[in-house]
Amino acid sequence: MTGPATPRVALITGAARGLGRAIAEALAQQGVTLMLVDILADRLEATRAALVAGGASAAAYATDISVKANCAAAVAAAIAQFGRLDILINAAGLMRFNHAADVPEEEFWHLMQVNAAAPFWFAQAAMPHLLASRGNIVNVLSQSALMGTAYIVPYSMSKAALLQLTKSLAVEYEDQPIRINAVAPGAMMTEISASTRPPADADFAKIKRYSGARPPAQPAEVAAVVAFISSPAASAVHGAVWPADCGVTAG
């Protein structure tokens, strides 16, 4: 929400690869300055270098966002580097297939920390800066926040929590100069499921209910939606959850 003389600054979590990287590329196209955050330090640096080679202004901050203090430190690093923050994109996320009966406690809480708690701590730390810049937050949910999805129950729970973070924060700040929204992707061609597979004895008819009739989206297709909602062109959009799931949650 600033004029062309003042480049907007975005902090993007999960920016090393996949959708987060695609969002960084889309925002760079809008001339937005980037603070890229991820736990994968080498991939993050490669992404930063590629963006800068393409003409973007970008810094990287490698950290584990499952720790509350690291979320605030990442926001502080963005302010120290660029002096302002206009956009917070909570795109980092983890997904694990499992029978609900077999989910270990550690896996359950780690999913909650990365997918639901970290976006809350990022929002809390970023809020004063976003209010000062009349900025906005976009949370990356999943179709799993909008429908029941078998064999990924804690993931689905975490994304539903992130949906309510979006809506409840939007109401709490309805009289403040900030927009808070979410995008709910369906399946995308990324590495999120590279290290997890449905249980061998899963009922695949239940998985098919959220697999969709269309091919998985490219991350850039969903990133374009996120980039629009975070842009001044979406100034009327607040407290919204925007599916980008190629029709899966249409029924």
Q: Which residues are catalytic?
A: 155
Options 9, 12, 19, 178; binder of ligand NAD; rule CB under 6 A: 19
Structure tokens at 14: 């999960």
Rank residues 89 and 133 by Cβ distance to ligand NAD and give the closer one: 89
From 10, 12, 60, 91, residue interacting with ligand NAD (rule: CB under 6 A):
91
Nearer to ligand NAD, 38 or 86 (CB): 38
Q: Under the criterion CB under 6 A, does residue 64 sit at the interface with ligand NAD?
A: yes
By CB under 6 A, residue 140 contacts ligand NAD? yes
The residue within the footprint of ligand NAD, chosen from 11, 18, 112, 156 (CB under 6 A), is 18
- In this chain, which stretch among 49-57, 125-133, 183-191, 198-206 interacts with ligand NAD, using CB under 6 A? 183-191
Angle between helices 105-112 and 153-172 (to 10 degrees): 30
Which of these, 109, 21, 126, 143, lies nearest to 73 by C-alpha position?
Answer: 126
User: How would DSSP label each residue in 161-214?
Assistant: HHHHHHHHHHHHTTTSS-EEEEEEE--BSSSTTTT----TT--HHHHHTTT-SS
Size of the site for ligand NAD (CB under 6 A): 26
Contact (CB, 8 A) for 211 and 219? no
Is residue 149 a contact point for ligand NAD (CB under 6 A)? no
Beta carbons within 10 angstroms of residue 207's beta carbon: 15
Applying CB under 6 A, among 92, 130, 137, 170 the residue interacting with ligand NAD is: 92
According to the binding rule CB under 6 A, does residue 66 interact with ligand NAD? yes
For the chain, the C-alpha Rg in angstroms (whole number) is 17
